[in-house]
């Protein structure tokens, strides 16, 4: 049974995209302090009167988005580390393309967890992002 497989290109692209998100979020300034003065500018309709209409829900989002994105990208990276292909060890007539299973959940590769993460980030369906 061969456990050393070449890196799956789709998995590699997903990991790279998540790492870029994590780096961008880590480098970004937190809006936590900037949101406090903006909340005082909310008008009766619930918007901050500037060219872009910021509602209180927008401010809530901006206040915690950096921390949420860092946590989400870390979770996603940990999940793709857990769910990766391995040779299932079965007999196959196509030795160049062995049957693969997930190391963690043992589903056929790509497993449902990896497919869900891939679909959420549209890896393989991008138009140039």
**How confident is the model over 41-100, as pLDDT tens digits?**
888 888 888 777 778 888 888 888 889 999 999 999 999 999 999 887 777 777 777 888
Distance CA 4, CA 112 (A): 22
What is the share, in percent, of the chain residues with pLDDT greater than 90? 29
Amino acid 58: pLDDT: 83
Enter the tokens of residue 18: 């998540």
Read off the pTM.
0.65
Alpha helices (runs of H) in 1-129, residue ranges in sequence order:
9-27, 32-39, 56-82, 112-120
SS3 assignment, position 16: helix
Instruction: Specify which residues 87 forms β-bridges with.
Output: 100
Amino acid 127: pLDDT: 42
Reported as a pLDDT band with limits 50, 70 and 90, residue 4 is low
The answer to whether 48 and 41 are in contact (CB under 8 A) is: yes
All residues at 6 or more sequence positions from 30 whose CB lies less than 8 Å from its CB, including other chains:
66, 67
Reported as a pLDDT band with limits 50, 70 and 90, residue 107 is very high
Reported as a pLDDT band with limits 50, 70 and 90, residue 129 is very low
If you compute the radius of gyration of the chain from its CA atoms, what whole number of angstroms results?
21
Reported as a pLDDT band with limits 50, 70 and 90, residue 5 is low
Enter the tokens of residue 55: 């509602």
Reported as a pLDDT band with limits 50, 70 and 90, residue 36 is confident
């Amino acid at each position: 049974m061969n456990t050393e497989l070449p890196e799956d290109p789709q998995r590699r692209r997903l990991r790279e995209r998540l790492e870029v998100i994590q780096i961008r979020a880590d480098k970004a300034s937190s809006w936590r302090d900037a949101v406090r003065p903006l909340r005082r500018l909310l008008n009766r309709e619930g918007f901050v009167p500037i060219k872009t209409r910021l509602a209180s829900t927008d401010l809530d989002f901006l206040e915690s988005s950096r921390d949420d994105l860092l946590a989400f990208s870390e979770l996603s990276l940990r999940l793709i580390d857990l769910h990766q292909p391995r040779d299932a060890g079965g007999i196959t007539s196509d030795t160049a393309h062995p049957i693969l299973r997930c190391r963690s959940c043992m589903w056929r590769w790509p497993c449902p967890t990896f497919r869900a993460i891939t679909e959420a980030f549209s890896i393989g369906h991008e138009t140039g992002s």
